[in-house]
Structure 1
Amino acid sequence: MSLSQKEIIERVRAIAEPIVTSMGLELFDVKYRIQAGKWVLSIIIDKLDDYVSTRDCELVSYEIEKVLDSHDFIPGRYYLEVSSPGLDRPLKKIEDFRRFVGKLVKVKTKKTYRGYIVDVNMETKEIILRVDNENITIKYDDVKSANLEIEL
């Protein structure tokens, strides 16, 4: 019985989460998709107090690969890649906004805003951005997508 893409992602997440956490890292995302005609399993890791190093990616890849090989539930050939969310990382949770107070972001609601995170009110779930020397309050529930912007 073959698993769906969603089921594979859920199983990989269940395997990867404790491994990544035990290494002092956070599991940011798991993706399983066709890329350039080949199946790719992407595990994106993060480090809350620092940047993810190449060595972090190598160690996570090694540990997860051992477990995936022993469980063998992913059909056919696939490529495993472990990476960080990147400099222009998406902000998925309200906690991500809190973590990056002071950073330049692009936030899409009905409109698109580009500004600096001034504050995050966790109780009201509101994000305050400084856009063109003016503070704008955005409800977290209105955010369709958001990511850090690279400052040059």
Structure 2
Amino acid sequence: MAASVEIIRAALADALNEVGVDLEALQIQSAGRREVVRVIVDRDGGIDLDHIAELSRRIAELLDAEPLAEQFAGTYVLEVSSPGTDRPLTEEKHWRRATGRLVEATCADDTVITGRIVGAHDGIVEIVMDDGQARAIPLGELRRGIVQLEFTKQGATPAEVESLDDEFADDDVALEAHGDDDVAIEAHALDDVALDANAADNE
């Protein structure tokens, strides 16, 4: 008997809500004689590894007890994690939990805007655009948002960014020098061939 996703989802959602955690997604897949239970959780303030471990124990206790235990014909493997940065922002809680992050947002009219989220409440998402303009956008006008990866720290000064660029430039120089060494090694190999040829002629 395959486990009922809906029965398990309802039970886990209720139990997690009691401790201020949202059940973002639940997936159950068969893997041979076992079933893999993947649970994605989130909350305001984020989820760290210690919290993941605590939630894993709590969820395992629920799955091992009746009435959920009868949903599994054999053994199961439990995987608990938090959403990755590639999770689309579609609900107000998603936008709120991404406060401070750079985001690319697709609006209902298919226009795309980029800015930093400064808040989300009462159906409004507040974003500071690249040009510094602050906008309060109704949630209904946003189709979804994607958090952008940033390779420099927030608030980095131009001097810090320039310093980082210099470091990359130094790395490029080092790679080029390594390339010259390879050329030198090849030239040395050719010299060895020439020496071998001369030795053969002398014989």
Q: Is the 1:12–1:30 Cα contact (8 Å) retained in structure 2?
A: no
Q: 2:15 matched to 1:16?
A: no
5 Å-filtered alignment, 1:60-139, equals 60-70=55-65, 71=68, 72-74=70-72, 78-109=76-107, 110-120=110-120, 122=122, 125-133=123-131, 134-139=133-138
**Counterpart residue number, 1:142:** 141
- For 1:121 and 1:63, the matched residues in 2 are separated by 30
The alpha-carbon deviation at position 111 of structure 1 amounts to 2.5
Q: Render the CA deviation track for 1:2-29: whole Å, top value 9, x for unaligned.
A: 66xxx51x3223222344345x441241
- For 1:39 and 1:146, the matched residues in 2 are separated by 33
Q: 2:45 matched to 1:46?
A: no
Instruction: Among all aligned residue pairs of Structure 1 and Structure 2, give the percentage whose two residues are the same amino acid.
Output: 26
Tell me how many residue pairs correspond in the alignment: 144
Give TM-score scaled by structure 2 length. 0.54
Q: Is the 2:96–2:120 Cα contact (8 Å) retained in structure 1?
A: yes
Change (3 A) 1:42 1:25: farther
Q: 2:34 matched to 1:56?
A: no
Instruction: Give secondary structure in 2 for the equivalent of 1:129.
Output: strand
**Counterpart residue number, 1:26:** 21
Where structure 1 has 5 or more consecutive residues not aligned to the other structure, the ranges are none
The alpha-carbon deviation at position 118 of structure 1 amounts to 4.0
Calculate the aligned-residue CA RMSD, in Å.
Answer: 3.3
Between stretches 30-39 and 94-103, larger displacement belongs to 30-39
| Structure of greater relative contact order (alpha carbons < 8 Å, 6+ residues apart) | 1
| Structure holding more strand per residue | 1
The alpha-carbon deviation at position 36 of structure 1 amounts to 9.0
Q: Is the 2:12–2:23 Cα contact (8 Å) retained in structure 1?
A: no
Between stretches 65-74 and 95-104, larger displacement belongs to 95-104
| Structure holding more helix per residue | 2
Where structure 2 has 5 or more consecutive residues not aligned to the other structure, the ranges are 152-203
The alpha-carbon deviation at position 74 of structure 1 amounts to 4.3
Change (3 A) 1:144 1:31: farther
- For 1:102 and 1:11, the matched residues in 2 are separated by 36
Give TM-score scaled by structure 1 length. 0.68
Q: Render the CA deviation track for 1:52-76: whole Å, top value 9, x for unaligned.
A: 2222222222221232133231456
Change (3 A) 1:46 1:113: same
